[in-house]
Amino acid sequence: MPLSFALSASVFQTPPPSTQLFNNVWNWYLYLGVASGAVTFALMVYILYRYRSRPGNVLSAEKSREIRETWKGPIVIFALMGVVLIAVGAQTVIALPTYDNPSNSPGLIKVGVIGQQFFWSFSYPDNKTIACPCDVPVNTEVIFNVTSRDVNHQFGIPDFRVKTDAIPGNYNIVWIEPNAIANYTIQCFELCGVGHATMISTLVVVSPATFSAWLNSTVSE
Amino acid sequence: MKEGYSPTLAWLRKWLFTTDHKEVGLLYFWTSIWFVAIGGALAGLMRTQLAFPAPWDILSASAYNQAVSMHGLIMVLLFLSPLGAAFSNYFLPLQIGAKDVAYPRFNAFSYWMYLMGGLVMISGFFAPGGAAQAGWTNYAPLNSITFSPGPGESLVGLGLLMLWGSLTMGSVNLIITVLTMRAPGMTWKKLPPFSWMTLFTQVLLLFSVPSIFAGTLALITDRTLGTVFFLNPAGSTILWENMWWFFGHPEVYVVVLPAFGAIAEVMMVFTGRPIYAKKALMISLGLVLVPFSFSIYAHHMFLTGINPLQREFIDLNTEINTLPSGLLVICMVLTAVGGAIKFKAPLTFALAALAVFVIGGISGVFDSSVLLDQELRGTYQVVGHFHYIMVGAAEFGLIAAVYYWLPKWTGMMYSSAVAKLHFITSFVFFNMTFFPMFYLLEMPRRVYTYLASTGWGSYNFIETLGAYGFILSQFLLLYVLVQAFRHKGTPAPPNPWNSAGPEWTSDPKSYIDNYPAVYASAPSGEHAPHVMTPLNSRPFTISLGLGLTFLGLIFSWALLAVGVVLAVYGVYGWAKDDLGGVFKMPGEEKVGEIWPFKHDGGDLGVWRMKMGTWLFLASDLVFFSAVAGLLVFVRLHLPDWPAVGSVFNTPLVAFNVLVLITSGLTLMLAIQDSKEGKGASMTKWLVATLILGGTFLIISGFEWVDQFAKGFTFSSGMPGSTFYLMTGLSGAHVFAGLLMLTYITKKGMSGKITKENNSSLRLFSLFWIFVIAMIVVLFPALYLM
């Protein structure tokens, strides 16, 4: 199974924007990375086979004492690697502003995320705090403002390719724009204590109508 | 032979008290093997727990967290780096044609501090609540007493302190060795690649350790005295992560570079070709890889919310640092061009290391991307990546070193069939264990269980089988080692691989001299009947004392008392040995090329001590910089800081600093007198310096008491914590200086400091002036800003 499958084998028909951005950059790294690895391995195998010790290939004293100082070779190697690294690095640099910054489209919704040993809670603009799961409307930009009440946690929604640290006293932002009505896993990705493995929540994407009905019906804690 | 001579006692005495670099190297080696057995067993436990999804329940969450934390700490700090150090200790002096390392006693001291520190760390398993469970990175605030109340985390902190001491001494020692002890003719151009890599490794350690040294001290004061560095949001996780990764990232190269040194040696010998473009390679490693490894550590912190521009800068730097690493691999491969390659056991492991390093390196480029890191961070992709580097490249490289140098160590050959079987099983099972991790892009690290619905089960099951196979295969290596060290099998010729490496030409029979032909006279020293090594018990005594002291802090007051007595006795004995001239430094009669440094024409040993002192001060400067960095960090993140003059008694402090500066002047006068041969007057000035230094400490102590009375305590907030840490560390430096000064004054009183021989006084003055300078710089920053 190619590595790219492991990522794209997700629940989406059309991936949401953050996932698309990520997958695009990921593919650059994947294809160029695998190609570079393949070239290196081919070179290795060829050299090891070609220069193996055999009756026709015995080492001369000159060969074992030859001075092999060169700058040309290393510069060519640097340049070749540099081209690949610039190619992939550029993808990151180009995509990063969009990935980092929410577009602030009208109708967006801001959700506060609080990590605590060992659960997530989510607060909505009307200041009602609602424990897990996290309900959001479909086709709407959702901005998560992430913090923690105790230790370091890490808030991640793998299907949307977003993740950020939940740090006490700090607020970090990620955004998503769900485009299908479905449930997604939210999980903690930083060791936070004995409950780390089970610090799992659900992102419930519902229709806007259901969402506003749900928001109005939830009683403030 | 002495009356009552016992072979067992002689054996014990030799291994406890040896200062011979070869024997210390072997101690490092076997100790690291012992630690890897523990680390490997923990890995086996973790893999067993992860073999099946929930409700499979072999380890509890707490047990799993202990295993995962201690596995990381043990494998990186107690196994891989010391294994590299084992080879560096043994082969660096042999490769450069030296009799020993620059400071043999400190070398033994480094080893014992490592062992005792490691034991303190793992003793947590026997403490109530178990070992540390905050991950090997010990992230704040999980590492604080609030969230990790058990003693396990404190024991890790205390053990780490000993380890940092060990690494600092070791790095100064090996750097000075390679800088100043190369035999005539051993020029930089001829320096073998393994020695180069050792030099790079130790330079990395020298400058990276002080940061986490300061961080660990702050952690310990948090956990024992109630300071709040890692609980207060103004410090907390970001402060810790900066201090940890400034060390933690260079540490990766510390682990990998010695392995690559061995790989380079092996490539040369078994292909019959010199290293391809060695000069360009070493320059790119020394000028790009080493310095850049300090500038990229924050790629471990992409998701903490650090400045976006900084993130991209770090991303870029990380990719730049791929260049010398990539060049290293390609140069190793190209070395074989034109050769006649013999696929012996050392070469198979060297090639395996190169191959898996390619995979580990390329997978790491993914993580260097700020964007991709937002999905990959904290997942099994990262676990796969660094195991390909750590187990794959580093451990395979060091196994190649074992197979390559074992005949030199033991004088015995090993079964190449067993070695090849070891290679095949290791390589297959390694990939079986770690390659599936690249598919687990959504599985979090450090979870003790997962749901069956995730579909991660089959990958994990394969990984577990691979891990079992990998662990079992290592018994083949253990068999080879035990056979060779017990001298079973066929004896090896002096240079079984026909290597051109200088270490193979050393005389295996001459324990002390290594190269009797180069150095005609043997040094005098304390010799046991048939043990030809200079023995000294102090390194062992001090380390044992410190270890017991730290264990005693957690477990029992009696242990603490014994430990303190032992440590004090050891330090006292060390000074006494010096006064009595009991322990002789290896004094070479000749030195080779020492560029870019100059030998001042005096005694070589003294010159070496001076160089070492400067290096140590460079490291101490990084330590003070880390502390200053902590102050800056805290001030930037904390809006309310006590106004100047509100809490601190500034005039008193100013007077106190003046007292300390005056002590510098009196010390200078003492040096002047010693140069003129005025022994009595010199002693007077030395005593004056002692009194002034002591006055500084007393006034500082008075100030502490005064602040405490005002309610400004360790735990009263971030300003208090910072104040006490900074003044405490400065005070500790002054206190250490006064101890040394007491020794020097004693020496002066007994007339041992003369016009010709005043080096101890002059070396001490370097340290004393340095400490005064630090305090003169730091105190205004603390009190007046």
Q: How far is B231 from chain A (nearest CA, A)?
A: 9
B509 pLDDT tier (thresholds 50, 70, 90): low
β-pairing, A153-157 vs A183-188, is antiparallel
B450 touches chain A (CB under 8 A): yes
* Residue B40 C-alpha from the chain's centroid: 21
Predicted confidence (pLDDT) at residue B49 exceeds the cutoff of 80: yes
A145 touches chain B (CB under 8 A): no
Strand order in the sheet with A129-131: A129-131, A119-123, A109-116, A142-148, A172-176
B523 pLDDT tier (thresholds 50, 70, 90): very low
Q: What is the C-alpha to C-alpha distance for residues B42 and B69, in angstroms, rounded to an integer?
A: 10
- B664 or A218, greater pLDDT: B664
Smallest Cβ–Cβ distance between A37 and the set B358, B379, B500 belongs to: B358
Cβ neighbours of A168 in B, within 8 Å: 141, 233, 236-237
Predicted confidence (pLDDT) at residue B597 exceeds the cutoff of 90: no
Predicted confidence (pLDDT) at residue B521 exceeds the cutoff of 70: no
Query: What chain B residue is nearest to A94 in terms of C-alpha separation?
Result: B371
Place of tokens 């035990």: B482
- Percent pLDDT > 70 in chain B is 95
End-to-end CA, chain B: 69
H/E element, B239: helix B236-271
H/E element, B28: helix B21-50
- pLDDT for the residue B752: 87
pLDDT by residue (tens digit) across B19-38?
A: 989 999 999 999 999 999 99
Q: How far is B275 from chain A (nearest CA, A)?
A: 7
Cβ contact A63:A53 at 8 Å: no
Q: What is the C-alpha to C-alpha distance for residues B349 and B266, in angstroms, rounded to an integer?
A: 9
Query: What chain A residue is nearest to B133 in terms of C-alpha separation?
Result: A193
Token duo for residue B769: 């002036």
- pLDDT for the residue B734: 97
- The SS3 assignment for A119 reads strand
Sign of CA dihedral A31, B441, B445, B435: negative
One digit per residue, pLDDT tens: chain A, 221 residues?
Answer: 345 444 544 445 688 999 999 999 999 999 999 999 999 999 999 999 999 999 988 888 888 888 899 999 999 999 999 999 999 999 999 999 998 888 888 889 999 999 999 999 999 887 676 767 899 999 999 999 999 999 999 999 999 999 999 999 999 999 999 999 999 999 999 999 999 999 999 999 999 999 888 888 765 54
Average of per-residue pLDDT across B604-629: 91
Mutation target vs B (from A152, A160, A175; most B CBs, 10 A cutoff): A152
B278 touches chain A (CB under 8 A): yes
Mutation target vs B (from A41, A68, A176; most B CBs, 10 A cutoff): A68
**Residue of B610, B753, B736 lying closest to B686 (CA atoms):** B753
Cβ contact B591:B579 at 8 Å: no
- pLDDT for the residue B515: 64
- pLDDT for the residue B512: 57
Q: What is the C-alpha to C-alpha distance for residues A109 and A136, in angstroms, rounded to an integer?
A: 8
B604 pLDDT tier (thresholds 50, 70, 90): confident
Q: How far is B137 from chain A (nearest CA, A)?
A: 10
Q: What is the C-alpha to C-alpha distance for residues B235 and B717, in angstroms, rounded to an integer?
A: 11
Q: What is the C-alpha to C-alpha distance for residues B261 and B265, in angstroms, rounded to an integer?
A: 6
Token duo for residue A3: 């590595």
- pLDDT for the residue B158: 97
- The SS3 assignment for B736 reads helix
Cβ neighbours of A85 in B, within 8 Å: 319-320, 322-323, 365
Q: What is the C-alpha to C-alpha distance for residues B419 and B429, in angstroms, rounded to an integer?
A: 15
B57 touches chain A (CB under 8 A): no
With CB atoms and an 8 Å threshold, state whether B446 touches A191.
yes
Predicted confidence (pLDDT) at residue B782 exceeds the cutoff of 90: no
What are the Cα distances from residue B251, in Å, to B201, B220, B612?
9, 22, 22
Q: What is the C-alpha to C-alpha distance for residues B390 and B639, in angstroms, rounded to an integer?
A: 42
Query: What chain A residue is nearest to B329 in terms of C-alpha separation?
Result: A40
B365 touches chain A (CB under 8 A): yes
Q: How far is A87 from chain B (nearest CA, A)?
A: 11
Mutation target vs B (from A41, A85, A148; most B CBs, 10 A cutoff): A85
Q: What is the C-alpha to C-alpha distance for residues B783 and B656, in angstroms, rounded to an integer?
A: 13
What are the Cα distances from residue B346, in Å, to B85, B271, B735?
19, 12, 50
Sign of CA dihedral B440, B445, B449, B451: negative
With CB atoms and an 8 Å threshold, state whether A193 touches B142.
yes
**Residue of A19, A147, A165 lying closest to A95 (CA atoms):** A19
A155 touches chain B (CB under 8 A): no
Residue type, B633: F
Question: Looking at residue B289, what DSSP letter applies?
Answer: I
Average of per-residue pLDDT across B304-326: 88
B41 pLDDT tier (thresholds 50, 70, 90): very high
Smallest Cβ–Cβ distance between A154 and the set B303, B316, B331 belongs to: B303
B529 pLDDT tier (thresholds 50, 70, 90): very low
Q: What is the C-alpha to C-alpha distance for residues B481 and B476, in angstroms, rounded to an integer?
A: 9
- The SS3 assignment for B102 reads coil
Average of per-residue pLDDT across B100-114: 95
A41 touches chain B (CB under 8 A): yes
Interface of A with B in 93-112 (CB under 8 A): 93, 95-96, 99-100
What's the pTM value of the predicted model, to 2 decimals?
A: 0.94
Place of tokens 């010990």: B138
What average pLDDT is seen over chain B?
91
Residue type, B484: A
Cβ contact B99:B586 at 8 Å: yes
- The SS3 assignment for B450 reads coil
pLDDT by residue (tens digit) across B405-449?
A: 999 999 999 999 999 999 999 999 999 999 999 999 999 999 999
Cβ neighbourhood burial of B7 (10 Å; 0-12, 13-18, 19+): exposed
Sign of CA dihedral B40, B46, B52, B56: positive
Predicted confidence (pLDDT) at residue B525 exceeds the cutoff of 50: no
- pLDDT-wise least confident of A160-164, B307-311, B743-747: B307-311
B526 pLDDT tier (thresholds 50, 70, 90): very low
Conformational region of residue B47, where left means phi above 0, alpha means psi within -120 to 50, and beta covers everything else? alpha
Average of per-residue pLDDT across B259-274: 96
pLDDT by residue (tens digit) across B212-261?
A: 999 999 999 999 999 999 998 888 899 999 999 999 999 999 999 999 99
Predicted confidence (pLDDT) at residue B520 exceeds the cutoff of 60: no
B171 touches chain A (CB under 8 A): no
- pLDDT-wise least confident of A170-174, B232-236, B345-349, B653-657: B232-236
B338 touches chain A (CB under 8 A): yes
